[in-house]
Structure 1
Amino acid sequence: MDTFESDDGHVVVRLDRGDLALESLADACESHGIDAGVVVSGIATFSNLNIHYVHRTDLPEEQSKRNTDLELSGSWEVTNVNGVVADGEPHLHVTAFDGDRTVGGHLEDGCEVNVLGEFTIRELSGLDLERRPDDHGISKLRER
């Protein structure tokens, strides 16, 4: 991983083969002091893709009953990653294609870069954001 910071507060993150995407982006936020921000662009290829998505319209209390977890192997062309950084933690969504199907969802730990990854993070000055669970256990973005 390597990072490059612009004068106007953008951080470009280059991930190399074998780097873990979500974990590396969290590390980049920490090393650049980004507590609140947005991932405004992201492209990559992954050798595996770990995501989850909500598959129901009702909200059972138990999260495992409302989410589907996918651990997909093979080469995945990532066409978009974006989301919000709150309390230094990225909450990101991804769209990817493996040559046969396109999938999307919440990016999870363990997505290994196959060839390369390029992401841009923009710090948001003057915001103090965190995520806290609501009555249904859904982690909601809030100001501290």
Structure 2
Amino acid sequence: MESFESDDGHVIIRLDRGDMVLESIAQACEDHDVDTGTVVTGIGTVSNLNIHYVDRTNLPDDQVDRNVDLELERAWEVTDINGVIADGEPHLHVTAFDGERTVGGHLEAGCEVNVLGEVTIRKLSGLSLERRPGERNVSRLVRR
């Protein structure tokens, strides 16, 4: 992984074969002091895709009971990664295609780059956000 920062607050991340997607994005946030920002685009390929999604409308209080975790082995073409970074922590979603189906959900750790990846972060100045538990233990963005 290598990352580059522009004068106007954009961070471009190059992900190489074997890099871990979410972990590399988190490292780039630390390296470039991204406290509050957005992942505005992300593309690439992964050799496995780890995501979760919510499959119900009646949310139990325990997050474990409301999430469906998918650990999908094989090559995936990542068509988009986006989300918000608050208090230096990325909360990202991903859409990917394996040649037969398209899936999407919350990006989890452990997704290994297959060929390449490219991610753009936009640092935001004058705004400081964090996530706090809200109703039904759902994480909410709030000013810090």
Name the structure 2 match of 1:111: 111
Number of residue pairs matched?
Answer: 144
Name the structure 2 match of 1:88: 88
User: Which ranges in structure 1 are unaligned for 5 or more consecutive residues?
Assistant: none
User: Which ranges in structure 2 are unaligned for 5 or more consecutive residues?
Assistant: none
Question: CA separation in 1, counterparts of 2:10 and 2:62?
Answer: 38
**What's the CA shift for 1:29?**
0.5
Name the structure 2 match of 1:62: 62
What does the per-residue CA deviation read over 1:60-119, in whole Å, with 9 as the maximum and x for residues that have no partner?
Answer: 112122110000000000000000000001100000000011000000000100000000
What does the per-residue CA deviation read over 1:23-56, in whole Å, with 9 as the maximum and x for residues that have no partner?
Answer: 1000000000000000000001000000000000
Name the structure 2 match of 1:51: 51
- Counterpart residue type for residue 74 of structure 1: R
- Counterpart residue type for residue 131 of structure 1: R
Question: CA separation in 1, counterparts of 2:99 and 2:88?
Answer: 34
Name the structure 2 match of 1:136: 136
Name the structure 1 match of 2:121: 121
Matched, 1:31 2:31: yes
**What's the CA shift for 1:17?**
0.5
**Identity of counterpart residues, as a percentage?**
71
- Return the TM-score normalized by structure 2: 0.98
Look up the SS of the partner of 2:136 in the other structure: coil
Question: 4+ residue runs of structure 1 moved beyond 4 angstroms?
Answer: none
Name the structure 1 match of 2:22: 22
- Counterpart residue type for residue 77 of structure 2: E
What does the per-residue CA deviation read over 1:115-142, in whole Å, with 9 as the maximum and x for residues that have no partner?
Answer: 0000000000011110011131111111
**What's the CA shift for 1:7?**
1.2
Question: CA separation in 1, counterparts of 2:39 and 2:122?
Answer: 6
Look up the SS of the partner of 1:18 in the other structure: coil
Question: CA separation in 2, counterparts of 1:58 and 1:102?
Answer: 25
Look up the SS of the partner of 2:141 in the other structure: strand
Question: CA separation in 1, counterparts of 2:129 and 2:69?
Answer: 27
Question: CA separation in 2, counterparts of 1:44 and 1:140?
Answer: 29
